[in-house]
Amino acid sequence: MLTPVANLCVNSSTNLMQYIAEVRKFPMLSQEEEVRLAKNWQEYQDISSAHRLITSHLNLVVKIAMKFKNYGLLLMDLVMEGNMGLMHAVKKFNPDLGFRFSTYAVWWIEASMKDFILKSWSLVKIGTTQAQRRL
Domain presence at residue 110: yes
Q: In CATH, what number is assigned to the domain containing residue 127?
A: 1.20.120.1810
Does 11 fall in a domain? no
Cα–Cα distance measured from residue 52 to residue 54, given in angstroms and rounded to the nearest whole number: 5
Termini Cα distance of the chain? 40
Domain range for 57 is: 27-134
Is 90 part of any domain? yes
- CA distance linking residue 90 with residue 86, whole number of Å: 6
What total of structural domains would you count in the chain?
1
DSSP-H helix ranges across the chain: 16-23, 31-44, 47-56, 58-67, 75-92, 101-120, 130-134
Q: Computed from CA positions of residues 7, 13, 16, 21, in that sequence, does the dihedral angle turn out positive or negative? A: negative
Residue-level pLDDT at 12: 44
pLDDT at 126 over 60: no
Reported pTM = 0.81
The whole-number pLDDT of residue 133 equals 63
pLDDT at 135 over 70: no
- Is residue 34 in a domain? yes
Examine residue 49 and state whether it is found in any structural domain, yes or no. Answer: yes
In a domain, 7, yes or no: no
Which of 102, 119, 103, 55 has its CA nearest to residue 83?
55
Has residue 14 been placed in a domain?
Answer: no
- How many residues in the chain? 135
Residues 88-103: tens digit of each pLDDT: 999 999 999 999 999 9
